[in-house]
Amino acid sequence: MQEHKPDAHGAAADDAVRIPFEALERRVLAMAQALVGAREARLEAESRVKALQERVRKQDAEIARLKDEIGNDRLRESVRTRLESLLKRIDELERQG
- State if pTM tops 0.75: no
**Rounded Cα gap, residues 23 and 35, in angstroms:** 18
The pLDDT of residue 1 is 46
Assign 18 a pLDDT band (cuts: 50, 70, 90). confident
- 2: region left, alpha or beta (phi > 0 left; psi from -120 to 50 alpha): beta
By 3-state DSSP, what share of the chain in percent is helix, strand and coil, each rounded to 5?
90, 0, 10
Asked if residue 42 lies in contact with residue 36, where contact means CB atoms within 8 angstroms, the answer is: no
**Rounded Cα gap, residues 78 and 63, in angstroms:** 22
60 to 50, 68, 94: CA distances (angstroms):
15, 12, 51
For 5, the 3-state DSSP assignment is coil
Amino acid in position 80: R
The tens digit of pLDDT for each residue in 50-96 reads: 999 999 999 999 999 999 999 999 999 999 999 999 999 999 999 99
